[in-house]
A and B are shown apart, each in its own frame.
Chain A
Amino acid sequence: MFAKKSVVARRRLARRLKAAASIGLAVAAGTFVACKQKADEIMKALDDARGDVGEPEAAAPPASGPATDAGDAAMTTTKPSSSAMVVAKDAGPAPAFDAKEHKKGMPVPDNLLE
């Protein structure tokens, strides 16, 4: 069972075109990463020069108020179904720029072929 030579050749050509396109994408991505890092460095230097370390962020108040005892805590965490929705939305870390992580791993989720 052999694949047709024309199919193999077409696939090879498509691969080369896609590789060229991916280099275009990489140029855009590399420029973004480099500029973003430089911008972050400049902002940090400016902050340091101003001596402005920034106010610590105030902790957000709990959505349903502080629990007074164990019974209240149980009620606030289990009673309304809407609180479950809030928990689900907050479960994962928010997407953020991370230059260090950029140098690791692969972009495909689940490492499908690793």
Chain B
Amino acid sequence: MQLLLQSSLVEHYGASWKKVRIRSPEKVVEEIARTRSFGPLQVVGFRESIFVYDARWLRVFGELYRREIGLPYYCHLRADMMTEEMVDLLAWSGCHTVNVGIETANERLANEVLHRQIKQARLVAGIRMLKAAGIVVFADNILGIPGGTLEDDYATLQLNIDLDVDYAAATLCTPYPGTGIAKYAIEHGHFHGDFDLIDDSYYTESVLTFPDAKTKRMTENLHKWFAVTAALPQLFPLVKKLIELPPNDFFYAVFRSWYLVCHMTDVMPRRPDLAQLKESLLSVFGVYRGLDPNWHSPPRPEWLPTVDANTLATAERALTDVRMLVRREREGAVLDAGVHPAMEVR
């Protein structure tokens, strides 16, 4: 298992950190059941990078999960680690969607630049098994990888088409500080090293250096068309022409629109309420409720604590009395003693 872990992770956390920590299926199911007791639950999401390592754990988890929870769930995993037994168990236990990383079709880039330590043939076989089991596949891809070309990105798109993934998510390669890719990009002249220029979104533009402005523009535009072209491959020849155009509002709208439609209908077995649906739809048209990702809907007025005027007045009187009592006691301690305690010592 250690071989699968990226060397950059080991660099970050040191060689002594525990590589894999797995919670028992009983604990996991118990926590979900407790969470469900707080309110309605439609779908369960497991956000750890690799949800399942071995079939034995998954079998026990599946039995418990089916019996106690019985809701669809989604998880992240490495498709190259999948065996037929594991895929069967995933589907049987209620797995609706898996998030897998394809990243790039170029095995050299995957292993030498991204350090994925992966065999492309096993990745492809794993995704085919997941698809054959009827599990929705959400694939992550990276465009504009240092050392790669536009042809590599086309090949990645073609691989997503061939594998018939349900949503082909793409991001623009971004050299975040402290990552192996940043080190590689700086060392090989693909990045100037000014991390302050990195945008807060990896969906907009790339900060990496490209051979020319046209290639950069085409890569960024391809990113906007990537997912929808994977879903509708007939677009591919047209997209190759379209991405030569300057970036524009239509391209961004295409990206957002397909993301919304695909997630609402295929990827997430969760039905949004009307307010969420309206908000999502408006955002495709550039209308936002705000930029703060930590902002959440306010609680309903009836949930807010309310105090009637009489209770409040009583509480305030009681508080004032306590404050006066404390003040008198402090003053009295000095007056009763007659002299300051420090004077007595002397």
Contacts and interface: CB of A to CB of B under 8 A. Distances in A.
Given A22-B228, A106-B256, A15 B284 contact: no
Given A95-B289, A99-B286, A113 B138 contact: yes
A101 B200 CA distance: 11
A109 to B, nearest CB: 6
Q: Which of A8, A26, A94, A96 has the most CB of B within 10 A?
A: A26
B309 interface: yes
A29 interface: yes
Interface bin, chain A: 35 or more
Interface in B110-159: 131-134, 138
A88 B258 contact: no
A91 B286 contact: no
A67 interface: no
A23 B257 contact: yes
B263 A108 contact: yes
A36 B268 CA distance: 32
B207 to A, nearest CB: 14
B254 A23 contact: yes
A103 B252 contact: yes
Interface residues of B, number: 75
B20 interface: no
B73 interface: no
Given A84-B306, A104-B203, A78 B248 contact: no
B231 interface: yes
A50 interface: no
Nearest to A3: B134
Nearest to B247: A103
B164 to A, nearest CB: 6
13 contacts: A1-B91, A3-B132, A16-B232, A21-B261, A22-B260, A23-B228, A23-B258, A25-B257, A98-B286, A99-B249, A105-B203, A106-B259, A106-B260
Given A19-B232, A33-B286, 16 more contacts: A8-B164, A18-B261, A20-B232, A22-B262, A23-B258, A26-B250, A26-B256, A29-B257, A30-B252, A31-B250, A93-B289, A97-B288, A99-B249, A106-B203, A107-B257, A107-B280
Interface of A: 1-3, 7-8, 11-12, 15-16, 18-23, 25-34, 36-37, 74, 78-81, 84-85, 88-89, 91-99, 101-109, 112-113
